Structure 1
Amino acid sequence: MPRPDDISGTAALAICESLLLALNDHRILPEKEIVGVLKDAAAAHEFAPLGDQEALHAAVALLINGILAGGNSVRRP
């Protein structure tokens, strides 16, 4: 059984991805702005203060950068 934190994190990612896709589909935000949001989110974790959560921040930044490089988990090019 997955841990509750894993379930919450996966659900949050899916919801955010779907919202970003909907914002783009309905022409509320252009793709350039959505990419900017994702880059800002990755940078927030890449440059987070060092501490006991360093591995978590690195993993989050890697995941977001992977989404940027390869598309989202809902629609793949």
Structure 2
Amino acid sequence: GGYDETRLVTSFVAAYPYSDPEFIVFVTYDEPNRAEGHPRATAGWNAAPTAGDIIARIAPILGVKRNTDADRLSPFSTQEALR
């Protein structure tokens, strides 16, 4: 292993449901392209949204219901989501 300043690998791990985590999703991209309209090719712009898409598709199959109770989110999460 090592670090190569000429290559880019992004990754993101999500645990869900957030109220009582039972599952995780790990997404990694090797040499991701910058998505159109996005300023960077970082995990926040590619791996994290992909993890969200995967969870949205898989959670119903696993019987995990979507919880949109914003009162249970931390103030930081709520502020970030509103930006």
Shorter-chain TM-score bucket reads 0.3 to 0.5
Rg: which structure is higher?
A: 2
Which TM-score applies when normalising by structure 1?
0.37
Which TM-score applies when normalising by structure 2?
0.35
Between Structure 1 and Structure 2, the one with more helix by share is 1
Instruction: Considering Cα pairs closer than 8 Å and 6+ residues apart, tell me whether 1 or 2 has the greater RCO.
Output: 1
